[in-house]
Amino acid sequence: MPPTLPPDATLGDAGEFGLISRLTELFPQGEQVLVGPGDDAAVIRVKTGHVVVSTDLMVEGRHFRRDWASAEDVGHRAAAQNLSDLNAMGGRAHSLTVGLAAPTDLPVRWALDFAAGFAAECDLVGASVVGGDLTAADQVVVAVTVLGACTSPPLLRSGASPGDVLALAGRQGWAAGGLAVLGRGFRSPRVLVEAYARPHPPYDAGPAAADAGATAMVDVSDGLLADAGHLAEASGVAIDVHTAALEIPEPLHAVAAATGADPVSFVLGGGDDHALLATFPDGVALPAGWTVIGAVSAGSGVTVDGAAYEGETGWRHF
């Protein structure tokens, strides 16, 4: 058993290996793990299918703020954005590694709560944290690598064809509405603030889309139009989004009325909900949870209701 630390202990008090020993206790290992945390590298058993891998970063002050979200929420978000990337390939995550850089005066409680949230999100898909690293830094930085498998050929961004339909799964625009609220110093509508703090990706929708014959797919992390643009560019097609098909929940109307924004703009340009966009052959029966919101044609670029969109299309990293 690691030595007991006072409730107000910091990372500097615990030390690297003292903290690792506590974090390891929070991450049970799945059946695919032959060697988990504690060695130089993890060893994962792959039985069938294709191995898929993705990496994401979260930087304090750019991707999250500790005064806007609890440590547990940040843990859920860090896991969700990585699990969603594999979901967008039509696969399922099974193993993750986590790198955490943080100030030495960060409370140990924050790190443990972050880990608890991270583990709880991973548990939604049956994934395990199999290793990672810790170091000191001036701000909190989280680096996550996720591994998983696709039992059918992975769904790429490059498979859409003219004549396909564009479909959406998962809620979209909620996190953008929450960010707009927080940016103005408010905490209501609470449902939108909570959506920004802790996304709810449609984890079953990716494999279901692959099984139903989807031709291309992408995770909506930066913005619906921005990520539709990635599909259009990779596939060499044009995509038109139909706003009449988009669901605009009442809380977004409330925020739009208070801020003078168009409620549709939250859905079109918002990210961080980790919904899925996919293209399907016209006439294919869509899986539960998928809704047709547009069309694919010959050409290039993304339009909205047949015209160029003048608003923000999504998040820019640089």
CATH of the domain at 105: 3.30.1330.10
Do 276 and 299 lie in a common domain?
A: yes
48, pLDDT greater than 80: no
Confidence of residue 39 (pLDDT cuts 50, 70, 90): low
Do 182 and 297 lie in a common domain?
A: yes
246, pLDDT greater than 70: yes
Tell me whether residue 200 is in a domain: yes
Residue 169's domain comprises 165-304
* Cβ atoms of 94 and 30 closer than 8 Å: yes
Do 127 and 172 lie in a common domain?
A: no
The residues that bridge with 217 in the sheet, in sequence order, are 278
Do 97 and 177 lie in a common domain?
A: no
Do 263 and 208 lie in a common domain?
A: yes
Structural domain count, the chain: 2
Q: Which of 102, 117, 150 is the last residue of a domain?
A: 150
Do 125 and 181 lie in a common domain?
A: no
Tell me whether residue 144 is in a domain: yes
- Which of 56-70, 128-142, 195-209, 304-318 shows the lowest mean pLDDT across its residues? 304-318
Do 242 and 269 lie in a common domain?
A: yes
The pTM of the whole model exceeds 0.75: yes
Do 74 and 169 lie in a common domain?
A: no
